[in-house]
Structure 1
Amino acid sequence: MTKLIAVVGASGSGKSSVVARLTAGREGRISVVHADSYYRDLSHLTFEERDRVNYDHPDAIEFERLCKDLRSLKAGQRIEAPVYDFSVHNRAAETQGIDATDVVIVEGILVLADPITVELIDKIVFIETSLATCLKRRIERDRTERGRSERSVRDFWETRAAPMFLQYVAPWRDRADLVLSGERDLSAAHEQLSAWLLADTSQ
């Protein structure tokens, strides 16, 4: 039976890096669903209007489709997940096939912001990283990958990312089944997560 493991934390906490290391070489055994892929289709808006959307708020995620796909995975069915293009703030035309492996990682900031989605999750992993470190990583990433200025990244962080994290994500730290540090060497977090998953799935 497919087990859904949520991996959550702040933007820049190291979630994606830890999950990428975990799944490398384990195709067919561990699949990954990225919650960011389920940002709503905003084709009806102009780019300028889409750029003003608060993507750190739960309303930005199409949880209806995410829940439908997670139920299908738990039932052993392959899904076609949406693909999101961050350069234009909208969904791409193609989809991504995801298999119902024994373990499916559901990774994203807002995975647990929807109560119906929470009911489908079997275990919760929280990546704990200081907000100062997260902001530094986000500035570096958005400069190189999304062409944003440091000023714009700081504005997004202070008005959207940090407040939304504190409201919707941080409270799950004390309810997590596993808390990992994403502060420095992420290889340690990867090793801990890998050992924990191995022990959990063998039970």
Structure 2
Amino acid sequence: MSKKRQQQTTGIPKGAVLAKRSQQVPNNSYDPAPTYYIDKPFVCIDCGQQEVWTALQQKWYYEVAKGSLYATAIRCRSCRKNRSDPNYVKSSPVVIRNGNSLIKHVHSEINSAIEIAGFKFQGKSRLPARDSFSLDYSRVDLTLTCWFDSPNSALIAESIDPSANCIQIARVLINSPVSGVKLLDRISVFTGAVVQYLESLAPA
């Protein structure tokens, strides 16, 4: 190996791909341009799928396609392909940032069934555990509570009658993944179980 080549590869992680800086788009930043590329894991912002932007893909993007050095991969190949389809219709994403936005989404999904079943929304409460919230509903003969148990990463729904008999309607773990379409699917499983329970109730 030549002395110059040896200097270039010193300190480069195993599996990295050397960058050819003369082929990169000029970088108007105080941050130096990369001298090598390494595989970068990321989560697709559309579907929530775990993906890897490989070092070779980065080399092609930055040096052949002349992509900006500030850019990085945010969508998986399948979602990029979907977006290039002329028939693709962009939907408004549901953003779940924390327990508060999660429980608000639950409320919006079950509210119609809640009203049909004769319940009234009593309010949303912050629970002692960090980022945990509950939704409380009631009618003459029942109290219904849905809450996000943040420490255990679970959505739980229970009903209680005047005799203090408690029934667990649903419990869905959502600890992984925490974002994207798969998270919404798990929330839908939870809200679907709650709606099914509400529809099974006799009128108050």
Larger radius of gyration: 2
Considering the TM-score relative to the shorter chain, is it more than 0.5?
A: no
Q: TM-score, normalised by structure 1?
A: 0.29
Q: TM-score, normalised by structure 2?
A: 0.29
Higher relative contact order (CA 8 A, sep 6+): 1
